[in-house]
Structure 1
């Protein structure tokens, strides 16, 4: 009788976007928790632990991304750097840029200045004080699908750029839902019929929100750092499928001039 030894596959390493002696930035996969929490029932893989094992040293988180959000996540490699970077985020000295795919044709440009109550999943919302929250949005491109997902014969979607000035929990998701354009696969604020269509027919199984750029001043060297990362494979493939591949990378012209619609019609609220 022979025994078969079970082998445990080593977790895939995190993609490193930038690294120096004091800090490191990685691409966080959507759906992955940054660290262990009370909500981590059954989870076995976390960004902090994976990165620590990958580098063979401790890492210090300096900001956060919600579990379903993918993209750039910055860590310090020592406590002094952690304090300096955390201060940069608190003092709003870091510019953050996200891409999101939303339902309907979103506004060409809008700033949502709406306080939000913290959502920690433990305390009742009524006990949580509302905190200032400001996000700037710009529509980059639109698409119209000849599919009756909802009550209309066509279905419309937008690629939105989000620049949050504050860092409240679920801020971008809640602000987009507030203006009537929830992010695709946002189970709480979106609509199930659209979410299911993207999962079942467009190979998009997760929230279509990704942190694609961080710009900050290096706390010890004084130089400006611009960290960039394309969205994950599912998100990027959708951008190509919708003809939005120009927005996989950014330049100043794209920020100044939103992308053109895939259809000649002007956006309206009728299908949003």
Structure 2
């Protein structure tokens, strides 16, 4: 269900498995409840969230003061988040910026619009993984629901195994979206947490080698420019 990456008296960072809900989901206890029970914690407060289908780095506060300080960093967009995804479709561009408002679609998901009143903002790079597969490094600057999944669909490259946005997901073992790295500040010091994906047929050793070669230090890359007024 999860693996502990870093733990202090103030916060906890875990690597969440795909298919695990943050909170109680029908018969399942939910990640928050399970971690609290496993570690005998009196409090465990999520300061951001991941979709059930998404694996990877997830930050929790251990007390209300830490939750307030960390939540403020997220609200001010001071936390850097990096995700990895795989698609079996060729994108319109190999790298770039995806900006647009999001609204509900008829099928219960979301879609990207051309308007930019309160837009979702995503930067991305991509590189060839193998024949017919492409690896994406994504940096969201906003936290809209399904933002990255919708962003890649808008580029013509829906995420492999994403049953909601990819028309051919049957037989794929998971949705190939992983929260790869998180950078925030605590006690005046920068904290960087990084956890390469390990769960899934296509997140294999060759994929992890490619990540190490191209995306080992995601914050140091020359990211596409964000238009003035949207940063």
Question: For the superposition of Structure 1 and Structure 2, which TM-score range results when normalised by the shorter chain?
Answer: 0.7 to 0.9
Q: 1:206 to 1:59 in 2, by over 3 A?
A: same
193, 200, 204: which one aligns with 1:240: 204
SS at match of 1:158: strand
Q: Distance in 2 between matches of 1:211 and 1:167?
A: 13
Structure 2 match to 1:54: 38
Structure 2 match to 1:91: 76
Q: Distance in 1 between matches of 2:76 and 2:134?
A: 31
90, 108, 124: which one aligns with 2:94: 108
1:31-76 Cα distance to aligned partner (Å, 9 max, x none): 111013xxx3x33231100110111111001001011001011000
5+ residue gaps in structure 1?
1-11, 145-155, 200-204, 258-272
50, 59, 65: which one aligns with 1:74: 59
**Residue 255 of structure 1: CA displacement?**
6.4
Structure 1 match to 2:216: 251
Q: Distance in 1 between matches of 2:76 and 2:221?
A: 26
CA contact 2:81–2:182 (8 Å) conserved in 1: yes
CA contact 1:98–1:209 (8 Å) conserved in 2: yes
5+ residue gaps in structure 2?
112-116, 223-231
119, 127, 143: which one aligns with 2:130: 143
Q: Distance in 2 between matches of 1:256 and 1:143?
A: 22
Q: Which has the larger radius of gyration?
A: 1
SS at match of 1:226: strand
Q: Distance in 1 between matches of 2:207 and 2:21?
A: 28
Q: 1:248 to 1:30 in 2, by over 3 A?
A: same
**Residue 101 of structure 1: CA displacement?**
0.3
Structure 2 match to 1:202: none
Structure 2 match to 1:229: 195
SS at match of 2:60: strand
1:187-233 Cα distance to aligned partner (Å, 9 max, x none): 111022xx235x2xxxxx11000001001111xx1111110112132
CA contact 2:16–2:56 (8 Å) conserved in 1: yes
CA contact 1:62–1:76 (8 Å) conserved in 2: yes
Q: Distance in 2 between matches of 1:210 and 1:16?
A: 16
CA contact 1:96–1:214 (8 Å) conserved in 2: yes
Q: Distance in 2 between matches of 1:245 and 1:16?
A: 20
Aligned residues between the structures: 211
TM-score (structure 1 length as normaliser): 0.71
**Residue 253 of structure 1: CA displacement?**
8.5
